Structure 1
Amino acid sequence: MMAKLNQILCQFLLIINTVNSARILGIFPMPSVSHQNSYRPLMEALAKRGHELVIATTHPAKYKQEEYPNLRQIDLHEVSYPKWTELNMAGIKESSTWGNFLIIMKGKRVVDEILDDELGLPEMQDLIKNPKHQFDLCFIAAITPAMFAFKDRFNCSLILISSQAGSISNYKAFGSPTDPTLYPPMLSPYLDDLNFWQRVHISLIYVGTMIFYRSAFVWSCDSLVRKHFGEDYRSVGEIEKSADMLFLNDHPILGGIRPTVPGIIFLYGMHIKPHKPLPVDLQKILDDAKNGVVYLSLGSNVKSAQLSQVKINAFLEAFKELPYTVLWKWENETLPGKPANVHISKWLPQQDVLAHPNIKAFITQGGQQSMEEAIHHKVPLIGMPFLGDQDLNVRKMVKFGIGTDMNLYTLSKEIIVNSIKKVVEDPSYRENISKLSNLLTDQPQTSMERAVWWTEYVLRHKGAKHLRAPGTKVPAYQYFLLDIIAFVLVCAVVAIYIIVKISCEIHKRFIRKPDKPKKS
């Protein structure tokens, strides 16, 4: 009885200590389940704290009305997923060694079309044009700048939130250093200890990325803002610089130690939940796997079924040769030529699967959430990257000794067999991932507690501009001291010139001996 009273008292104190109920808008327009799963737990936690939320999402959750009566969802699924699923990322990647670049270019065009369609929905237009709507805070996916205009629409606080590490633009907007040779950007082909030519290469990539972002990405987003919001809105680049906080699904150890400002909050593994019981048939498959299980999933954006038949056959032949049970996230109903030890499913509860003790290795595309879930459950990794930050994530797996990598272009049966045997039979991979997992989870508070506290901090103080770095207010030439360096160089050149002139004059007048007269 006393325990129950103490629990009620704690809940009461928690309620009276929270900020007054606020109206919060969440805009999460990317048609990717993994992205949505990163944001949803925080929105649910804020709703449980008594805040009123309106969430625009491409993957609405099926809540019971009594479960979250103060949370309303705007469904963006129908206008986003058809175009997104037509983007065959596996096929694009295989078609050329420039696959990653082609995915970015085609993906940008498709995302622009999707955002245009989403903003044109009646419910979204009602948010934009109906004066009755007002919000105290906006959460907006950091990867979709066109949506930043909702901050100016409601003149409210803005928290940018990312399902992965921050981009160059994100860090620059908050005044954190972005030296690409020290802090590898998301699309970096290197991690650390760069030689001279690698530093030249990454610097060129950095400059090219910023030019592309400013000239193409921001320009297209600004045109969407003018079309759907009106002409009297700031550039999305300016709005990004006025954001109050940046929430990143990352950890300084995993993402790379770098100096950051207080307004950047790391929320590693916020989407990870206590595992639930598996479906009976799946539980039996995993329990009966005497030699262990290899789990294969390429995430929600890359479809295994869209790989070329040559690559699919390489996997099938490799699995047939191995003694392990294979659990494969396969998007079609059937898989011709499937060996008896391979089990397929269109959808699998990944976190619950990885929690099973019989999982020996996880073949992944290198997505941020998949990597975090494997680290949390201490399952060694085999990374085969396709797009975005996946190349960099796979390099991190190799660097930390928690996995190995496979190249899609050189993939063969032998490489698959050797990679699986390597991470399963070498105990160092499981030891390393266990150590890393312990490091990443050793924190004074959970990521969710930290996210809720900082969200309500922004609400209490009506923003967090006081936590911004002064570097965001100065032009690049001042930030990098180029004007001072130029001034010092000019002064040095002038001083050297004067010294040389004086020295020449002294030599001419006082030191140089007169010429001897010529003999007649």
Structure 2
Amino acid sequence: MVNFRLIFLACCVVGSVNGSSRILGIFPTPSISHQIVFSALMENLAKRGHHVVTMTTDPIIYKEKIPTLTQIDVHELSYKVWKQQFDFVKINEETKSPKKFMEKYYRLMCSMVQMQMKTPKMQKLLNDPSEKFDLCFFESVAPHVNPIKDHFNCSLILISSLSGTLQDFDALGNPSNPVLYAGMMSPYMDDLNFWQRLHLTYLDVMYRHMYYFKMVPLLDERMKKVFGENIRSVDEIQKDVDMLFLNLHPIFGAIRPAVPGIVYMGSLHIKPTMPLPSDLQKILDDAKNGVVYLSLGSNVKSAQLSQVKINAFLEAFKELPYTVLWKWENETLPGKPANVHISKWLPQQDVLAHPNIKAFITQGGQQSMEEAIHHKVPLIGMPFLGDQDLNVRKMVKFGIGTDMNLYTLSKEIIVNSIKKVVEDPSYRENISKLSNLLTDQPQTSMERAVWWTEYVLRHKGAKHLRAPGTKVPAYQYFLLDIIAFVLVCAVVAIYIIVKISCEIHKRFIRKPDKPKKS
């Protein structure tokens, strides 16, 4: 049998022979769930001897310093703007429109990137003529930073902690069909009826109009103030990308055609289990009936829920026999039952690895779901915004969890959902099967990401892996000119046939009228 691990290691050795490279990572979104994915890859590349510089909103503090890794910290100003203008609970109450959500995100990121680029360390990096980079990694949902590629004249890999956006797939010429391949924030999944397909087509057209005709001009205008008037359009640079890294598994993501320039990773941030703090270890060990873990991620704060919803959770937990571990952002939780333990921060991966965890109540974030699947913990999803709705639908489809709606949430729904997932063995069986499917691969996600990164470095780009559709205008890509030509030919042919038929009928078939008597 071929040992793929040895082949990978041999290829890595070959890649390392060429010497280290200078790599720049720009990751502007202030969300720890995004940043842990990027930092994991940057850390591994630095440990392989590459000189890595990253701009991050959540720098990692390592026990031992990595000499080839430099982190530019933009945490304070980024989170200040983020918390003031991007309240997930409030936005969820105001709108469920993916298009409006993304438009709000792009506008907010304009202001944030402008501030991030003006920090002293970023100014020093951008204005130092001696700084050279062989490769840039940019967060794919932040095309605002694309002009940095031209500034350093280097290869570009877009990386997403989620799935890809429409413009990501367009950049590599990858097929995008709103009906066949569910988008990151699609409201539907499989077995669509006509009206759902019509709705998805409408959303696709509206999103493209919003991005290409409203957001791109806005981004260009704002980014010229940062990078100068002579920069290329952010969309033009986006289409100059070499590869796209997506942090999801095709099976659990979306089975779709993918050009070779798209690399699916999935679970890139998963790390070996570490020992828990002693007090937390005791709580989990002493939970004779098992533990229900509740965390709404890094962007959605449990403490921001309405008091009615908080009370529903407290009343439900009081009625259940399980120990509850709740990521709660405040110091105290009034009315907290004895079986509920709160903490502002919890080592989620290590908590989920504990054998007493029976269920995980989550907002449906990509990284949280991957961690639960990896540790085979059944899920209860309560989505808010972004890709969370679709993720929770996938959870239900695969039979690895159930869902709750924030608007209809009540004590009875919470109690029934927890009992359903904990007491029905099918949920744990299904998530165990799915976990085995996703991990049965010839390479780990990190090995695959590192290999393709060094592939781009070795060949100074990878544009040969893109589809030819990147250079084809939309009217040609969708065969609109062909369809129009065929329709015109058909209309002309029908017209000629009708005219000839009428003439034949008039001359040879129709009898002449009898003359009227005078």
**1:409 aligned partner, one-letter code:** Y
CA distance in structure 1 between the partners assigned to 2:11 and 2:498 by the alignment: 81
* Cα-to-partner distance string for 1:296-329 (whole Å, 9 max, x where unaligned): 0000011000111111001000100111100000
Query: Structure 1: which amino acid aligns with 2:33?
Result: S
Residue 129, structure 1, aligned to residue 130, structure 2: no
Larger displacement relative to structure 2 (209-218 or 481-490): 209-218
Partner of 1:23: 22
Counterpart AA for 1:482: L
Equivalent residue of 2:156, what SS?
strand
SS of the equivalent of 1:246 reads strand
2:308 alignment counterpart:
310
Preserved CA contact (<8 Å) 1:58 1:77: yes
Partner-residue secondary structure (3-state), 1:151: helix
Residue 470 of structure 2 aligns to which amino acid in structure 1? T
- Residues 1:456 and 1:11: Cα distance change in structure 2 (over 3 Å): closer
| Partner of residue 290 from structure 2, selected from 285, 289, 292 | 292
The whole-number CA distance in structure 2 between the counterparts of 1:462 and 1:110 is: 34
**Aligned-partner Cα distance in 1 for 2:11–2:163:** 36
SS at 1:253's partner residue? coil
In structure 1, distance between residues paired with 2:298 and 2:495: 66
Deviations 1:127-148 (A, max 9, x none): 2222111100001111111111
C-alpha distance in 2 between matches for 1:461 and 1:190: 40
C-alpha distance in 1, partners of 2:17/2:422?
48
SS of corresponding position for 2:116: helix
In the aligned structure 1, how far is the partner of 2:92 from the partner of 2:486? 52
Stretches of structure 1 that go unaligned for 5 or more consecutive residues are 1-6
Structure-1 residue corresponding to 2:458: 460
Structure-2 change in CA distance of 1:462 and 1:97 (3 Å): closer
What residue number does 1:52 align with? Answer: 51
User: For residues 335-378 of structure 1, what are the alpha-carbon distances to aligned partners after superposition, in whole Å with 9 as ceiling and x for unaligned?
Assistant: 00000000000000000000111111100000000011111111
Amino acid at match of 1:120: K
1:435 aligns with 2:439: no
Give the Å deviation of 1:216.
Answer: 3.1
Q: Structure 1-normalised TM-score?
A: 0.95
Q: Give the CA deviation at 1:102.
A: 6.2
Residue 375 of structure 2 aligns with an amino acid whose one-letter code is H
**CA contact 2:117–2:226 (8 Å) conserved in 1:** yes
Partner SS, residue 86 of structure 1: helix
Deviation, 1:93, is: 4.1
Q: For residue 88 of structure 1, report the CA deviation from its aligned partner.
A: 5.8
Which residue of the partner structure matches residue 120 of structure 1? 118
For residue 186 of structure 1, report the CA deviation from its aligned partner.
Answer: 1.4
Residues 255, 91 of structure 1: alpha-carbon distance in 2 compared, 3 angstrom cutoff: closer
> What's the CA shift for 1:164?
0.5
Distance 1:183 1:446, change over 3 A: same
Aligned match of 1:4:
none
CA distance in 2, matches of 1:91, 1:462: 44
Distance 2:390 2:490 in 1: 43
Point out the more displaced range, 90-99 or 26-35: 90-99
Aligned counterpart for 2:444 among listed residues 409, 421, 446: 446
- Which shows bigger deviation, 13-22 or 403-412? 13-22
Per the alignment, residue 378 of structure 2 pairs with 380
Q: CA deviation at 1:18?
A: 4.1
1:43 aligns with 42
Which of these residues, 335, 339, 342, is aligned with residue 341 of structure 1? Answer: 339
The aligned residue for residue 159 of structure 1 is: 157
1:93–1:100 Cα contact (<8 Å) kept:
no
Which residue is equivalent to 1:423? 421
Q: Quickly say closer, same or farther: Cα 1:488–1:444, change in 2 above 3 A.
A: same
Please give the per-residue CA displacement for 1:192-221, whole angstroms capped at 9, x wherever unaligned: 211111111111111111111123322232
Contact 1:27–1:55, Cα closer than 8 Å, also in 2: yes
Q: Is the 8 A contact 2:96 2:385 kept in 1?
A: no
Equivalent positions of 1:148-227 (< 5 A) are 148-227=146-225
1:233, CA displacement in angstroms? 1.2
In 2, the alpha carbon distance for the partners of 1:41 and 1:420 equals: 33
Mark the CA change 1:449 to 1:181 in structure 2 (over 3 Å): closer, same or farther: same
- The alignment status of 1:301 with 2:299, answered yes or no, reads yes
Aligned AA for 2:257? P
- The question of whether the paired residues in 2 share the 8 Å contact of 1:367 and 1:389 is answered with yes
Residue in structure 1 matched with residue 31 of structure 2 by the alignment: 32
Instruction: Provide the rounded CA distance (Å) in 2 between the counterparts of 1:473 and 1:29.
Output: 29
Which of these residues, 351, 355, 358, is aligned with residue 357 of structure 1?
Answer: 355
TM-score, with length taken from structure 2: 0.95
Determine the C-alpha separation between the residues in 2 that align with 1:197 and 1:11.
Answer: 52
State the one-letter code of the partner of 1:493.
Answer: V
| Deviation of the 1:491 alpha carbon | 0.5
Instruction: Map 1:377-416; keep pairs closer than 5 Å.
Output: 377-416=375-414
Deviations 1:220-243 (A, max 9, x none): 321232111111211110111110
Identify the residue that residue 3 of structure 2 maps to in structure 1. none
SS in 2 for 1:360: strand
Q: Does 1:79 align with 2:77?
A: yes
Inter-partner Cα distance in structure 2 for 1:260 and 1:100: 24
Distance (Å, rounded) in 2 between the aligned partners of 1:250 and 1:67: 29
Whether the 8 Å CA contact 2:380–2:402 is kept in 1: the answer is yes
Partner of 1:328: 326
Give distance in 2, aligned partners of 1:88 and 1:334.
24
CA shift, 1:331, in A, is 0.4
Aligned counterpart, 1:491: 489
* Structure 2: distance between partners of 1:105 and 1:485: 33
* Aligned partner letter, 1:260: A
- Residue pair 1:159, 1:246 contacting (<8 A) in 2 also: yes
Distance 1:320 1:87, change over 3 A: farther
Structure 2 distance, partners of 1:87, 1:16, is: 44
Q: Mark the runs of 5 or more structure 2 residues left unpaired by the alignment.
A: 1-5
Fraction of identical pairs, as percent:
71
What amino acid is the match of 1:263?
A: G
Deviation at 1:96, TM superposition (A): 3.5
CA RMSD of aligned residues (A): 1.9
CA-CA distance at 1:460 after TM superposition = 0.6
Q: In the alignment, which residue of structure 1 is the partner of 2:243?
A: 245
* Partner AA of 1:54 in structure 2: V
**Maintained 8 Å contact 1:276/1:352:** yes
Q: Secondary structure at the match of 2:29?
A: coil
